[in-house]
Amino acid sequence: HHRRTNNTMDGESHTPNTKAEMGLSVKNERHSGYAAIHEAIGDGPFAMLQIFAHLAIGWPLYLMGLASTGRLGQDGKVLKDGEIIDHYRPWSKMFPTKLRLKITMSTLGVFAAWYAIYEASCKYGVLPVTLWYIGPLMWNQAWLVLYTWLQHNDPSVPQYGPDEWTWVRGALSTIDRPYGIFDFFHHKIGSTHVAHHLFHEMPFYKADVATAAIKEFLEPKGLYNYDPTPWYLAMWRVAKTCHYVDELDGVQYYRSLEDIPLSKDGKKND
C-alpha cells in the first residue's frame, strides 16, 4: 500500500476498477455487474451500497482477496482471470515463499480466535459477544477502510498506470482531510496522511508538525492535497463519483456511473 500508492496495477487496497470490470462496454453500454446494479437501483441507493460494501464487509473481503487487491502477484506477474491474492493461504501470491510458515501460523491463529469467539457465544450468548466484540471489531474495520478509501480517492486525484507511476507521484496523490473529534481519537491519521505516506515510519505524535512543514513546502508548488469537506460529506461524494477508471495505463481519473446513459434511455431513443 505504501510502496505502490495509486498504482493501477500494483497498488494494494482500493485499486480502481476499470470500466470493463464495472460492466461497461467499449461504447459505455451497460451489460452487467455494478453498471447494471446502478441502473436498477439508482444514484442514491448505489452510493449507499458503496458505503455499506466498503465499511461493513470491505475489510474481510479484502483479506480474502475478493476485493480491492492489486493485479500483480509478489513475483511481479499479472494474475490470471479468477486468480486471487488473499492473506490466509500460505501459497497465496500475496507473499514470497519464505513467509509460508509465518502465514500458516497466522492463519491458524485466526481460526483459533474464531473458535474462541464461538465458544464464548455458546457460554455467554451471541448478543453479549456481538455487543462486546463483533460490534467494536466492525467499528474498527469501518474506520480503517474509510481512511484508506477517502485518503486516496477523489475525482480530482490521479491514479497512475505503471508507465506513469513513480513512488513520489503515488505518495503525493494522498489527501489530507479533517475528521473533527475523530482526529483526537485516531491520532490525526486522516488529517496528516500525506506526511504518513511520505514518511510512513515516522512516529505519529509529531505528524502534525511534519504536516505543517510539508504543507509549507508543497502547497506553493500545487502538490499538497487538502480537502476541507467534512468527512461524511466527502464519503458521500466519493461514493457517488469514484466508480471506475477508463484504462490501466497512463494517468487516469475516477469516473462515475451517474454520467453513463441508462440502457432504458437508449432503448427509448431506438
Nearest in space to 43 (alpha carbons), one of 247, 254, 236:
236
Set of cell numbers at residue 255? 469516473
- Specify the pLDDT at position 1: 86
Number of residues assigned to the chain = 270
pLDDT value at 209 more than 90: yes
Q: What is the pLDDT of residues 128-170, one digit of tens each?
A: 999 999 999 999 999 999 999 999 999 999 999 999 999 999 9
Beta pairing, strands 159-160 & 251-252: antiparallel
Q: How confident is the model at residue 263 (pLDDT cuts 50, 70, 90)?
A: confident
* Residues whose CB is less than 8 angstroms from the CB of residue 246 and which lie 6 or more positions away in sequence, other chains included: 18, 19, 252, 255
- Specify the pLDDT at position 267: 47
pLDDT value at 270 more than 90: no
Q: What is the CA radius of gyration of the chain?
A: 20
* Residues whose CB is less than 8 angstroms from the CB of residue 28 and which lie 6 or more positions away in sequence, other chains included: 19, 260, 261
C-beta separation of 196 from 189 below 8 A: yes
